Amino acid sequence: MIHEVDEALRLLLGEAGLPERGVEVVFDAPTKDFASRRTAPTVSVFLYGIREETARRQAGAVSEYDADGLVTGLRAAPRWFELAYLVTVWTNRPQDEHRLLSEVLQCLTAVDALPARLLTGTLERQGLTVGLDISGRETGLPSVSDVWSALGGELRPSIDLRVLAPLPGGHTAVGPPVTEGLVARVEDTSRQAGGASGESGAAAPDGPAAEGAGRRLRYRGAADPGPDGFAAPRDRVLPPGRRHRGGAR
């Protein structure tokens, strides 16, 4: 998801006409070594912080469908993350830097979310809004001054850009849809045992031993389950002293 946000930001700044004027858009950290290697006007979009928006976290999963409308899997709800970018510009003169920084600020504040036409990968497939904001509030991420101190460079004018993007949840595949009912067919093993014994000349077992050889179904007239299986109605023998509702004992 992060690299897809990077690509969308690069395309958004590209639509402002920066590449046509020889301005490079990079995602390098604005360190002293970066400043010494720079040879052209540059816009640096440096990712310095990631924080989850826990208030947006949801439980459960949503179904995913194929072209025929059949469920192909379940995907957990996305989790939202705030990405903090330090946007700086680098030229040979402060006046040119201020002018370029103003153009970048105008481009980033012209929209409240990354346009859908610029989204790729999982951001495009989810179809959710990826918000943009120029931060002016404390959200628990490092401050801009702390970032510059960690980079070891001197403080420069910069834009504290925040992007709120969804991270897709895990995918769970499902089996093919059930299109036919379940029909159970059973076999009386006690009769098979008796037939085998009769062929060998031995008497077939009877009594408790015969009953233990197999369990007889108590359905009457249900030798063939038919299309409805063994769900056909059957008579139930009541214990002594019991009676059907509304009937005699």
Residue 249, in any domain of the structure:
no
Highest mean pLDDT among 14-18, 58-62, 63-67: 14-18
| 161-166 mean pLDDT | 94
pLDDT of res. 62: 78
d(CA 184, CA 69): 30
User: What is the per-residue burial (b if ≥16 Cβ within 10 Å, else e) of 128-145?
Assistant: bebebbeeeeeeebeebe
Q: Which range has the top average pLDDT, 13-22, 33-42, 109-118?
A: 109-118
CA atoms within a 13 Å half-sphere pointing along the CA-CB vector of 132 = 19
C-alpha dihedral over 111, 116, 121, 123, to 10 degrees? Answer: 60
Q: Report the distance separating Cα 216 and Cα 188, nearest Å.
A: 7
200, part of any domain: no
**Overall residue count recorded for the chain in this entry:** 249
The pLDDT value recorded for residue 44 is 93
Q: What are the two backbone dihedrals, phi and then psi, of residue 76, each rounded to the nearest 5 degrees?
A: -65, 155
Cα–Cα distance for residue pair 98/90, rounded to 1 Å: 10
What is the number of structural domains in the chain? 1
Is 17 contained in some domain?
A: yes
End-to-end CA distance of the chain: 74
Residue 182 falls inside a structural domain: no
Question: How high does pLDDT run on average in the chain?
Answer: 79
* Residue 166 in domain: yes
Mean pLDDT for the stretch of residues 223-238: 58
| Residue 196 counted as domain residue | no
Is residue 37 a part of any domain in this protein? Answer: yes
Whether residue 10 has pLDDT greater than 70 = yes
For 90, the domain range is 2-173
Tell me the average pLDDT across 128-142: 82
**245: in domain:** no
**Mean pLDDT, residues 16-33 taken together:** 90
Q: What is the pTM of this model?
A: 0.66
